[in-house]
Amino acid sequence: MTKPLPFIDLEAQQRKIQDRITENVRRVLAHGQYILGPEVAELEKRLAACVGVRHAVTCSSGTDALLMILMAKGVGPGDAIFTTPFTFIATAEVVRLLGATPVFVDIDPATYNVDPEALQEALVNFAGHARTAGLTPRGVIAVDLFGQPADYDRISALARDHGLFVLEDAAQSFGATYHGRQAGALAEAAATSFFPAKPLGGYGDGGAVLTDDHDLAAILMSIRNHGQGADRYDHVRLGINGRLDTLQAAILLAKLDIFDEEVAARQEIARRYHQGLKEVVAVPEVAPGCTSVWAQYSVESEARDLIRVKLQQAGVPTAVYYPKPLHLQEVFRDLGYGPGDFPVSEAAAARIFSLPMHPYLTTNDQERLIEVIRQAAAGFISAPSASLR
Ligand SMILES: *Cc1c(COP(=O)(O)O)cnc(C)c1O
């Protein structure tokens, strides 16, 4: 590869929507309502319509979206929240911040999302397990990793049987679908993120909660604004400064205009990657009835580290999401987990890497990419993808 390729190309996107961005930003500078200005309300209306839920409550980040939902649910010390160890730290960090306990369950090796069977096992064994004795099971946070929704039909059925709420960490999956429904509409409430590298990314931090629950939305609006009550200096609960900037909303409105096209482009690129790479690495699988928005295109190989070095030399950037599962992180050492507790997550962490993926990857660049990856991976082929799973 002659010139190094970007891992994601926000510049190409900016060139395409420069006029809309400038116009939207100019409008905010003209009206001057930098906090909760009209663009915030407009964005919330459009996000809710995109996903097909009644309410979108924007906020300062995907992390705060998760935090605010747990605060609204009254999660605190003594509560157990089931989630995956193969995710970004934020998913479990918010649980611990509130004094509650993340209870990890292993993932499905094909989708990297919470394995419903592992969840069932964790629920059945809960009372008898030393690690969870004395805790109250409260909820499940399912994560739509790499842009593919988790298996909500099975997860929700299990949660219902055990009286738990289900939250969707849709930070990576805005724009994906699950049996005809949009990601963000697959649980009681969903948190999404507008971090620049996410499929719908802004020019800074941002996030949103999506929900059909009218009362929950009202509580979330209060929490994101210091627990505000009847007016600005009336406070009825503990909250945070969790608002989305008006400028960020204005930028996201411009990006939302082209979002559907971008998702289609990502899906076309993923299709080509699949065709070109399925013989040399374990390519990702999308479950029947689902679509992915391909926040990451992640493949697996025994020879991951060697292949990555070769690709880097050829000007192809790669990344590893995630090199260390959460149960092995220092910050969660007190939870008492150790190596071997979640073998599927640990195996994925040792073998996975992500390829450049963004809607502005040209056919030409992609063909060159595929060729370079095929060459780098040749000789390391240990097994075709299906038998790796
Ligand atoms: C990015 C991400 C978050 C956090 O979103 P921020 O906007 O960066 O706070 C949470 N969960 C997952 C799975 C993510 O990928």
- Match 């697996």 to its residue by tokens: 300
Q: Does domain 259-386 have CATH number 3.90.1150.10?
A: yes
Residue 345, pLDDT > 60, answer yes
Residue ranges of the chain that CATH labels 3.40.640.10:
10-105+112-256
- Reported as a single tens digit per residue, the pLDDT across 27-45 is 999 999 999 999 999 999 9
* Residue of minimum CA distance from atom 1 in ligand 1: 171
**Is 45 a residue of the active site?**
no
Provide mean pLDDT across the span 24-28.
98
Between 381 and 123, the higher pLDDT residue: 123
Query: Contact, 300 vs 335, CB < 8 A?
Result: no
Residue 341, pLDDT > 60, answer yes
Residue ranges of the chain that CATH labels 3.90.1150.10:
259-386
Residue 130: predicted pLDDT: 84
Give residue 339's Cα distance to chain centre: 25
Confidence of residue 129 (pLDDT cuts 50, 70, 90): confident
Residue 383, pLDDT > 80, answer no
Provide mean pLDDT across the span 123-135.
89
Residue 98, pLDDT > 80, answer yes
Four-way CATH pick for 10-105+112-256: 3.40.640.10, 2.40.50.140, 3.40.50.12780, 3.40.50.170: 3.40.640.10
Q: What is the mean pLDDT of the chain?
A: 95
Confidence of residue 380 (pLDDT cuts 50, 70, 90): confident
Residue 304, pLDDT > 50, answer yes
Find the catalytic residue in 198, 255, 310, 324.
198
User: What is the pTM (predicted TM-score) of this model?
Assistant: 0.96
Q: Count CB-CB contacts under 10 A for residue 20.
A: 16
Say how many Å lie between the CA of residue 62 and the centre of ligand 1. Answer: 5
State the closest ligand 1 atom to the C-alpha of 87, by its place in the atom list counted from 1: 13
Say how many Å lie between the CA of residue 194 and the centre of ligand 1. Answer: 9
| 285: Cβ contacts below 8 Å, ≥ 6 apart | 110, 111, 389
Residue 386: predicted pLDDT: 42
